[in-house]
Amino acid sequence: MSAPLRLILFDVDGTLADSQSAIASAMTLAFDGVGLPVPAHQQILSIVGLSLPLAMAELAPEADHATQAALVEGYKQAYMSERLAAGAGHSPLFAGARETLAALHAVPEYLLGVATGKSQRGLDALIAAHGLDCFVTRQVADHHPSKPHPSMVLTALAETGVEPAHAVMIGDTSFDIDMGRAAGVVTIAVDWGYHPAAELGADYIISSFAELAPLLGQIWKA
């Protein structure tokens, strides 16, 4: 009897890709563009993972709707321009990410997916830049309520036919872990991301990608 399929979902920014500098730079240009003070760096990192409208509402709560909308568009334009100029160097992968994805992708019963606050265009560009042709389900902010709503994870489960008990959500923020928990899947926090891993309430914490495959084996041992 063959092993059941297992779904491994990854967040992107702060989990697979080190986009901290890119996000901060685009946010600076967006706020400069509307004449508002740029939020502190840690404040910017605290909203990574939210959809852009919610993120801007958090960062500029006193701004009116039109200004928040201008911030969203300014961020999108700045991020895209800098990505086109920098290519793969715009958001480099964390150490071990590429090798781990390749190793997991080679396991017949493992299905890999993404659940990210990035846009479809942004995710597609990052996947193309790094040659990450391993994700069978790609859930993005364009088609779902913002994290931590479980819609992304639930849709990925439905697309792959995997039961929640056979799935994990891997991320670096409270939005990722709360989303996974709300969808009823096992949650794994990484400690190199944008929120303190020990404060996220995840089922497990890893400190390097080298720890992921053994942990998955432990979680899904017969």
Quick one: 28 and 137 in the same domain?
no
What backbone phi and psi angles, to 5 degrees, belong to 136? -90, -15
Domain CATH for 121: 3.40.50.1000
| Residue 30: per-residue pLDDT | 96
Report pLDDT digits (tens) over 78-129: 988 887 776 656 789 999 999 999 999 999 999 999 999 998 988 998 999 8
Residue where a domain stops, chosen among 65, 89, 113: 89
| Residue 221: per-residue pLDDT | 85
| Residue 89: per-residue pLDDT | 66
- The identity of residue 125, as a single letter, is A
Quick one: 185 and 146 in the same domain?
yes
195: left (phi over 0), alpha (psi -120 to 50) or beta: beta
**Into how many domains does the chain fold?**
2
pTM score: 0.90
Report pLDDT digits (tens) over 194-210: 999 999 999 999 999 99
Quick one: 133 and 193 in the same domain?
yes
